[in-house]
Structure 1
Amino acid sequence: MELYVSIFSVSIITMLVIWVHRWRNPKCNGKLPPGSMGLPLLGETLQFFKPDTSNDLQPFVKERVKRYGPIFKTSLVGQPVIISTDQELNDFVFQQEGNLFQSWYPETFMEIFGQDSAAALHGYIHKYIKNLVLKLFGPESLRERLLHDVEKSARLSLCLWSEESSVELKDAISTGRKKVMKLLKDILAERMNSPNRKCIDFFDCVVKELKKEKPVITEAIALDLMFVLLFASFETTSSALTLAIKFLSENPEVLEELTKEHEAILGNRKYPDSGITWQEYKSMNFTFQVIHETTRLANIVPGIFRKAMKEIHVNGYTIPAGWGVMVCPPAVHLNPRIYEDPLLFNPWRWKGKSELSGGSKNFMAFGGGVRFCVGADFSKLQMAIFLHCLVTKYRWKPVKGGNIIRTPGLGFPDGYHIQISQKRMK
């Protein structure tokens, strides 16, 4: 009996050793990038999500780049992943979407965004959805409607906040986000029951599509899409604006230059209190430099995920079919070979740079390739208009908080509380 138990124990141990060996040494027809797969099943997930309190590249990536180089393998939430901090490979991944790569996010991310969200859609339906969204965030909509809506909202919010003893900036900017799904469902149901309504806004365009005999999208896709759009707008813009105001508070020379630009806009108007025009918005050159420098340092999106659709050979390495690939924007944004003193908040570094009108290999705050964020221009407009209303009419001082934490996304664990007051008229 003891002999059988011993044989069984040895067999189990042998099987475990083989399993662990296979986990740490995945099959590959070529040469995998260097790196560690971590513990079986768990991989290096805990190290990846370990909190950090600096603006620098997260230790997980920084340590592995130093050890393995700009491209390395790991395992996150049970999925083998190649992490790239290499500009050329990043660009290759973006440009080859639909051919060699497709959009993909780990299951934990998809539980947040929804299984039918835009991040999970591919090919024709993704292109269709993108064109639909552009009707909401396209240049004509920004110029004709959203510019005035955003200014009205910013002015009202700042007026209300100036009456408070202090406000927690990020939560104040993103008020309403906790009830967005119920609100979306209610609005969609109301529009679906409104016959012969003209196509005025994005909801109307969605309803028109859903009422077709053979709609391209489902109601679930529509709701998930709108939630992702609002989530992106609320979370990313509120975090970026909070960080921008923190940077302005800590860098008075930047605030002075920004204020000069916006006071000059008021000074050139016939009626100082008239609304912002499209021409004025497009003239906010230093403001756009502040926005780009903020988003470069914010690194709100720590990783952009894709999945290899087939076996891929690149840079002397093999990426097996089905493996995830994570493009790491912070590694580019904080690279001292690309940006001098990369941790320094210096909006002047963007003067005359082409990245101000889009993205590049060196600037990926809004993604890249066919999935370059369709809401990028709307986010910039929100930030620019808010800053205009703030610096021309108000002054503020930090009250408490302002510490950041990355897990690996940007957060403010104790908030950022400021006191806002109206400027005295000269």
Structure 2
Amino acid sequence: MDSSLVLALIAVALPVLLHLLTRVKKPRRPAAGKLPPGSLGLPVIGQSLDLLRAMRANTAERWIQDRIHRYGPVSKLSLFGAPTVLLTGPAANKFIFFSSALALQQPRSVQRILGDKSILELMGADHKRIRGALAEFLKPDMLKLYVGKIDGEVRRHLDECWAGRRSVTVMPLMKRLTFDIISLLLFGLQRSPLQDELAGDFAQVMDGIWAVPVNLPFTAFSRSLRASARARRLIAGILRETRAKLERGEASRSSDLIACLLSLTDDSGARLLSEDEIVDNSMVALVAGHDTSSILMTFMVRHLANDPDTLAAMVQEHEEIAKNKGDGEALDWEDLAKLKYTWRVALETLRVVPPIFGNFRRAIQDIEFDGYLIPKGWQVFWAASVTHMDAGIFHEPAKFDPSRFENQSAAAAPPCSFVAFGGGPRFCVGMEFARIETLVTMHYLVRRFRWKLCSKNDTFARDPMPSPLHGLPIELEQKASP
């Protein structure tokens, strides 16, 4: 085994073991019923290190398939100190997304860093209330107002960070672009020292958000907690300034997310959200609004470098839009509605490389699926690749084929098969925002530049999000002005 991989695994394993040894509990004795086949593995460790190693080596999909071949579509194992049931297939996904007996299970590190009043932690009426508030900011009438702002941010970013350079590293640039966009729309922040400070804090937040929650000075989790505290103070200050602007008539509900959430009231006229809820959900929106979108666009750039036919079709679609625009005129909502092929390319990229490998739920009562008992308190784990790469659902799944998503009315696959945006009551509320961000960015990218990959070793790892080798360095060539 490569020595760097060994060191990486040790770095992950030691804090995992230290943490779990202090917290692991004997599994609750289940009620009468047939448990799924499989093994919980070694005490404390279970199969956690095997899965982490597979994710780092980008063989996690094979690891999941090996379990399916050995035990079938339902099996038991132990992940991160908890007994777990792996459920696979469209019917299993539907069960996971829609069952009221399953609660979202986030790693403890996420709750500690992002707060316990976020949409990720709440259930029932509170979850519905918070989701409705965020959806108010992301409804089509509001999104139409943001296209011009996003357009301006994308053009500024490309002028400052791409134009005139012979090479760039794509992933860190995409992360900064999407962070600048989301911080503008959430808080009204223009490029400034304050925005740079928030970006720096959030880089540290992301480094520790999936870490083992051991709060020791040398750990990524500890650094992330401190960065989160700084970011929360900054957001609370923005909240107070925005409230004052609203009271003076200098801001409106459509100004940004903070203004929108502060303006929402219930039937009695009381504020719908508390300050703590606004801060916590602003933190979540910052993470969700820039991390997965930057991964999607990075992997689109990666794929297009070696797929000239798909790239040519995209360029043609974007040039058709540009022909009807004046010099310097921003894209609008109607333009984006015409970029159907580009969005199909994005969806196919998400199918092949889903940013979220899988996720957990927790059984809040004894529950049965496919004849097997899932005891109360056990985790339920699902993985996107199981259906995304199923030849019975997507013909020739290893082939990149955007035409799979031509017939949107038929959803291009059985329900709960394409799960890049999740499903059920927790279906990604920001999908339309991600679509706008992606389409605007790709419009200017494919029209202004050509590129090729610097590395012949076109690989990526998951930690836990997919990350291409060395951040995807590319050689860049600027096209002549049209």
Alignment TM class, shorter chain as reference: 0.7 to 0.9
What SS class does the counterpart of residue 414 from structure 1 fall into? Answer: helix
Q: Aligned to 2:66, which of 48, 59, 63? A: 63
Are residues 1:31 and 2:86 paired?
Answer: no
Give the whole-Å Cα distance in 2 for the aligned partners of 1:112 and 1:59: 32
Per-residue deviation, 1:385: 1.1
Contact between 1:174 and 1:238, CA under 8 Å: does it hold in 2?
A: yes
In the alignment, what sits opposite 1:285?
340
Which amino acid in the other structure matches residue 367 of structure 1? G
In the alignment, what sits opposite 1:152?
152
What SS class does the counterpart of residue 34 from structure 2 fall into? Answer: coil
Per-residue deviation, 1:282: 0.7
In the alignment, what sits opposite 1:72?
75
Judged with a 3 Å threshold, the aligned counterparts in structure 2 of structure 1 residues 203 and 36 are, in CA distance, closer, same or farther, namely same
Residues 160-199 of structure 1 mapped to structure 2, 5 A cutoff? 160=160, 161-175=162-176, 177-180=199-202, 181=231, 183-194=234-245, 195-197=247-249, 198-199=252-253
In the alignment, what sits opposite 1:206?
261
Judged with a 3 Å threshold, the aligned counterparts in structure 2 of structure 1 residues 259 and 53 are, in CA distance, closer, same or farther, namely farther
Judged with a 3 Å threshold, the aligned counterparts in structure 2 of structure 1 residues 353 and 216 are, in CA distance, closer, same or farther, namely closer
Residues 228-267 of structure 1 mapped to structure 2, 5 A cutoff? 228-267=284-323
Judged with a 3 Å threshold, the aligned counterparts in structure 2 of structure 1 residues 142 and 240 are, in CA distance, closer, same or farther, namely same
Per-residue deviation, 1:87: 1.1
Per-residue deviation, 1:270: 5.7
Judged with a 3 Å threshold, the aligned counterparts in structure 2 of structure 1 residues 259 and 213 are, in CA distance, closer, same or farther, namely closer
Give the whole-Å Cα distance in 2 for the aligned partners of 1:402 and 1:417: 11
Which amino acid in the other structure matches residue 70 of structure 1? P
Q: Aligned to 1:45, which of 23, 45, 48? A: 48
Give the whole-Å Cα distance in 2 for the aligned partners of 1:113 and 1:75: 26
Q: Aligned to 1:385, which of 440, 460, 467? A: 440
In structure 2, runs of 5+ residues without a counterpart are: 1-24, 180-198, 203-230
In structure 1, runs of 5+ residues without a counterpart are: 1-21
Give the whole-Å Cα distance in 2 for the aligned partners of 1:42 and 1:32: 20
Are residues 1:371 and 2:374 paired?
Answer: no
Judged with a 3 Å threshold, the aligned counterparts in structure 2 of structure 1 residues 79 and 308 are, in CA distance, closer, same or farther, namely same
What CA deviation, in whole Å up to 9, does each residue of 1:252-278 have, x standing for no partner? Answer: 1110111111112223x1636422232
Per-residue deviation, 1:300: 0.9
Which amino acid in the other structure matches residue 84 of structure 2? V
What SS class does the counterpart of residue 73 from structure 1 fall into? Answer: strand
Residues 105-120 of structure 1 mapped to structure 2, 5 A cutoff? 105-120=106-121
Number of matched residues? 401
Which amino acid in the other structure matches residue 77 of structure 2? T
Which amino acid in the other structure matches residue 74 of structure 2? I
In the alignment, what sits opposite 2:95?
92
Q: Which has the larger radius of gyration?
A: 1
Q: Percent identity?
A: 28
What CA deviation, in whole Å up to 9, does each residue of 1:194-241 have, x standing for no partner? Answer: 434443332013334699996554433322211111111211011110
Contact between 1:366 and 1:376, CA under 8 Å: does it hold in 2?
A: yes
What SS class does the counterpart of residue 397 from structure 2 fall into? Answer: coil
Q: Which moved more, 1:26-35 or 1:234-243?
A: 26-35
Give the whole-Å Cα distance in 2 for the aligned partners of 1:277 and 1:234: 21
Are residues 1:335 and 2:390 paired?
Answer: yes
Are residues 1:409 and 2:465 paired?
Answer: yes
For normalisation by structure 1, the TM-score amounts to 0.86
Contact between 2:93 and 2:417, CA under 8 Å: does it hold in 1?
A: no
